[in-house]
Structure 1
Amino acid sequence: MPHPRLMRDDAVRVHRILLNLAAFVIIVAGMRAASALIVSFVLALFLTVLCSTPLRWMTDHKVPKFIAVLSLVLVILAVGTVIGGLLGTRVVELGSTEAQLDRLFAEQVAAIEVSISGWLARFGLQGPELAPGDLLSPSALLGFFRQLVENLGYILANGLLIILTMVFMLLEVSSFPTKMRVAFGEADATEARENFAKVGAAIRRYVLLKTVVSLGTGLTVWALTALLGVSYPVLWGVLAFLLNYVPNIGSFIAAVPPVLIAWLQIGVGTAIATAAGFLVVNVLWANVIEPRWMGYSVGLSTLVVFASLVFWGWVLGPVGMLLSVPLTVMFRIVLGTNESTRWIAVLLGSERSDELTAAIESEVALAMGQSAHTPD
């Protein structure tokens, strides 16, 4: 018979696990209910993390902080305006051709039905009855991408809140270490600064290299679709650039509309060439160039990357899908700093997590050395 103390310890352990699970469910439910506000705050936080390095560089070179922050805000607004203009205008133009695309789609489906029925009739079989309404029509597909653009428009509409939050965060960056020392003491403040530096280094490294790869993917897709004569090549390039941030499935989603448009407007041969071109582009950038440039994975297992895509997409919507990997990397580093939760960070990591950790720690050491010479 088990010792009463052991039974009591087991009961306490189970009780603690159940409490943690209950707290996790409540937190996730609250995040999903307040997703609109959280998305704005998370975007502002990520922009602050990305802008902290150029801000520190400019202030170290005697640029006034107000001018430095204003310059970063103008750059962000310019990039958002260009992307929004390129994407929104082309989607509106494409939406005006929905009726024509649906008619062409119905004709192609009818032709396929006749071909299949004729081939099966040779063997005494009856062909299937294909109804275009039972399949994914171009108008339904365009509606999905229009929703993505509307979500981007929502972000731009709330851009003032995001930008203001980011500005206040950037203005607080220099005084944050002093506040940490006063609030938690020197030892705890140093540990907290190191943890924040690790998170920032991981996010900056991932976003910077992913942006370069996504930009290369978008430019290559634009050139490919323009060369093949597919309509709206700029739209497909911008779409490939944005969806390349969505791990695992983003590049496949970006390939569906141009392949469909090529099939309906030009022919099967061009559609096959477009699909093959997308396959080559994604293999080249995602499987050859990206691993070589990054030199390591994001520190997460493939299963965790896909699960994080589903989870953050469900909690925060399309923006959560775009930020799923940085958010999960951030939580993995935070969990790894606590002895009681380190096992979760290990389970989330990949086989090459040690390379990521070494790269981040070198950047953290550099950042801490620079901040040590910067007056608060």
Structure 2
Amino acid sequence: MRWPWQRRKAALPPVPQISEQAEQRWMLPRTLIVLLSIIAAIGVLILLNQVAIFVAPIFLGVNLVIAVMPLQQWLLRIGAPKAVAALASVLTVYAFLIALFWSIYWSVQSLVSELPGYSTEFNSMYRDMMGWLESLGISQDEALEQLQSAFSPGAIASAVAALASDAGSVLAFLATLFVVIFFLAWDSMGLPERIKRIATTNPGIVRGVDRFAAGVQRYWVVATVFGLIVSALDLVALSALGVPLALVWAVFAFVTNYIPNVGFVLGVIPPTLMALLANGPINALLTAILFSVINFVMQSLIQPKVAGDAVGVTPATSFLSLLVWAYALGPVGALLALPATLAVKTLLVDPDPRLAWVSKLIASRIDDPGSGRLGTAIGQGVQGRGARST
């Protein structure tokens, strides 16, 4: 006996089968696919570079909200209202950002306030430099002419205009970032229920987002812990060498530690300058060497390995990510290099079986592509779905 839908199915004309040879004729050569993929990736990076002023604060806001999500979930577990938990997350992120930017301002202001007290040392350095230039065959008049051209009114006006433009961009960035953080944290109140509903139909997407969230949280924890360690070591070293404002430069080193691999290059300049003015060239050289050794070993050798393992990528991938995302998203891209690479890996690469070789190539552990759970709303969504399915 045939059911009505079976009779209708039998009455349908047969579906023409495409032979394997015909299907292969429509496949593009692998070399062409690789080239097109590279061109598409470059095109996306160029596009991101053009809209970085919008994308960078949004992605940074997403990172910071995800980083404090365990705090929000802990408050919910102890019975706090959702609004209170969301408000606590917002205030925590705002406090972190205010402390970060205040540290930068404090460091620069301390340097500016301290420099006038070394006018005698500046004059001595100037005379020594002029004597050195004359030994090279460059007269004082030629050197002054070059300095005057570099510090002419037109050059100064151009520099001021550039700084004003940068200041406007920074203010726009901060305004966008603070607004994005507020709305993201407020929307996170309904995130667990949304994740549960998405997990019923798209569990793969939820697992990818969960891995991304867990990796982001581990990355920010590792960066903060290493920043504190580097800052403490720098404080001891600079104090031992008698460098003025050692605490200021230790705090500045903590801030620059969030820039992977090359942050210490920015952090070494102010203490070296102060050591040169206060204690002479030998002390400045020792300061630069000791500061660079501490920060290079911790930031460029140990931290990328630990952060890469926490995020799930190799140290080489971590360094290349810095170059790629600094171009695509500007200076903030250097800060978000690893989270951005993690987003691409967990949301685009890992779900596609055809790209499994890419995951194995860049993953810090071949047998573990980066799965893991933290106590986030995202993880709870996946676990809720698994509980219903059992």
- Both structures adopt the same fold (TM-score exceeding 0.5): yes
Identify which range, 170-179 or 326-335, moves more after superposition: 170-179
Give the alignment of 1:176-255 within 5 angstroms: 176-181=194-199, 186=200, 188-255=201-268
Give the alignment of 1:36-115 within 5 angstroms: 36-95=53-112, 97=115, 100=119, 105-113=125-133
Matched, 1:353 2:365: yes
Of 183, 187, 194 in structure 2, the residue corresponding to residue 165 of structure 1 is 183
Alpha carbons of 1:265 and 1:300: their partners in 2 closer, same or farther (altered >3 Å)? same
Matched, 1:274 2:294: no
Alpha carbons of 1:295 and 1:43: their partners in 2 closer, same or farther (altered >3 Å)? closer
Per-residue CA deviation, residues 320-359 of structure 1 (Å, 9 max, x unaligned), is 001112211222223122112222333333xx423764xx
Q: Is the 8 A contact 1:177 1:189 kept in 2?
A: no
User: Displacement of 1:238 after TM fit?
Assistant: 2.8
The normalised TM-score by structure 2 is 0.73
User: Displacement of 1:12 after TM fit?
Assistant: 5.8
Alpha carbons of 1:65 and 1:265: their partners in 2 closer, same or farther (altered >3 Å)? same
User: Displacement of 1:103 after TM fit?
Assistant: 5.1
Alpha carbons of 1:49 and 1:365: their partners in 2 closer, same or farther (altered >3 Å)? closer
Alignment-derived partner of residue 300 in structure 1: 313
Q: Aligned partners of 1:233 and 1:113: how far apart in 2?
A: 32
Q: Is the 8 A contact 2:271 2:287 kept in 1?
A: yes
Of 373, 376, 390 in structure 2, the residue corresponding to residue 363 of structure 1 is 373
Q: Which AA in structure 2 matches 1:305? A: S
Q: Aligned partners of 1:248 and 1:291: how far apart in 2?
A: 7
Task: Tell me how large the CA RMSD over aligned residues is.
Answer: 4.1
Larger Rg: 2
The normalised TM-score by structure 1 is 0.75
Q: Percent identity?
A: 22
Q: Which AA in structure 2 matches 1:109? A: M
User: Displacement of 1:365 after TM fit?
Assistant: 9.9
Q: Aligned partners of 1:337 and 1:291: how far apart in 2?
A: 25
Alignment-derived partner of residue 121 in structure 1: none
SS at match of 2:69: helix
* Highest RCO, 1 vs 2 (Cα 8 Å, sep ≥ 6): 2
Q: Aligned partners of 2:28 and 2:305: how far apart in 1?
A: 49
Q: Aligned partners of 2:33 and 2:308: how far apart in 1?
A: 40
Per-residue CA deviation, residues 232-259 of structure 1 (Å, 9 max, x unaligned), is 3344223211222222221233112321
Alpha carbons of 1:215 and 1:24: their partners in 2 closer, same or farther (altered >3 Å)? same
User: Displacement of 1:15 after TM fit?
Assistant: 5.5
Matched, 1:338 2:348: no
Identify which range, 37-46 or 171-180, moves more after superposition: 171-180
Q: Is the 8 A contact 2:249 2:267 kept in 1?
A: yes
Q: Aligned partners of 1:250 and 1:317: how far apart in 2?
A: 15
Per-residue CA deviation, residues 55-108 of structure 1 (Å, 9 max, x unaligned), is 112112111111111112222222222232232133134346489587565344
Q: Which AA in structure 2 matches 1:174? A: P
Aligned length: 346
Q: Aligned partners of 1:295 and 1:309: how far apart in 2?
A: 12
Q: Is the 8 A contact 1:291 1:297 kept in 2?
A: no
Alignment-derived partner of residue 120 in structure 1: none
User: Displacement of 1:373 after TM fit?
Assistant: 5.7
Of 322, 333, 340 in structure 1, the residue corresponding to residue 335 of structure 2 is 322
Q: Aligned partners of 1:362 and 1:347: how far apart in 2?
A: 20
Alpha carbons of 1:104 and 1:55: their partners in 2 closer, same or farther (altered >3 Å)? farther
Structure 1 gaps, min length 5:
118-126
Q: Is the 8 A contact 1:243 1:253 kept in 2?
A: yes
Per-residue CA deviation, residues 183-238 of structure 1 (Å, 9 max, x unaligned), is xxx3x522222111111111111210111111221233234334433333344223
User: Displacement of 1:172 after TM fit?
Assistant: 3.7
Q: Aligned partners of 2:189 and 2:88: how far apart in 1?
A: 13
User: Displacement of 1:176 after TM fit?
Assistant: 2.2
Matched, 1:174 2:192: yes
Q: Aligned partners of 2:106 and 2:374: how far apart in 1?
A: 42
